[in-house]
Homo-oligomer: A and B are copies of this chain.
């Protein structure tokens, strides 16, 4: 199958954080590698490319991580005031087993040695580089009609151990990736009344904040 011609703007508009719409059909390897190649072409501070991608497909691992996330969900629900707990209740927060594939994105702050061009003033730019790779990955996936769902209901130390990640490398995201039945038109958190979007005009300032 050849590369998708979906435009940047179209992919940005269609992109959703997918939870309930994974079809269960596992993403083919050639498409997966094309999407990872797109991620790997992201910009990075000092050209360090400090990211790695762990592709997870073993059902036992997916099930183990899903159980951990279910616990984190319970803890969050308990922390909410009652009205917010009721709004949260029907919202699905992950599609770990349904998507069939997880991608754990990691950040290695030691890559590139001690003198990193551009990181001496703003150290976070290393971490930011790995996040830029995630958005490349996400848009390439949408262009291929593949859904991504970013899961953040987990304890970082737990995921570090589960993935056998050596210090000082950090896991920064678990991404569910898989074929979808559809992309929702409206983000889940808006559809379920959790949080409405903000107008662009509120976000743009001129000359100073």
Contact = CB atoms under 8 A, between A and B. Distances in A.
A42 B115 contact: no
B8 A55 contact: no
A187 B43 CA distance: 9
Contact of A58 (B40, B128, B135, B207): B207
Interface stretch (A20-28, A176-184, A194-202): A194-202
B207 A51 contact: no
Of A61, A127, A189, most buried by chain B (CB within 10 Å of CB) is: A189
A30 interface: no
A54 B152 CA distance: 29
A143 B9 contact: yes
What 10 pairs across the A-B complex have the smallest Cβ distances? A135-B135, A131-B131, A47-B189, A47-B195, A164-B208, A8-B143, A118-B152, A165-B209, A122-B152, A132-B135
23 contacts: A4-B7, A6-B7, A8-B8, A8-B143, A12-B41, A33-B200, A46-B194, A47-B189, A51-B203, A52-B203, A52-B204, A54-B206, A55-B205, A72-B121, A79-B120, A81-B115, A88-B117, A91-B117, A122-B172, A124-B172, A131-B135, A136-B139, A139-B139
Given A164-B209, A169-B209, 13 more contacts: A4-B8, A12-B140, A33-B200, A46-B195, A49-B198, A51-B203, A57-B207, A80-B115, A81-B115, A93-B118, A118-B153, A128-B134, A132-B135
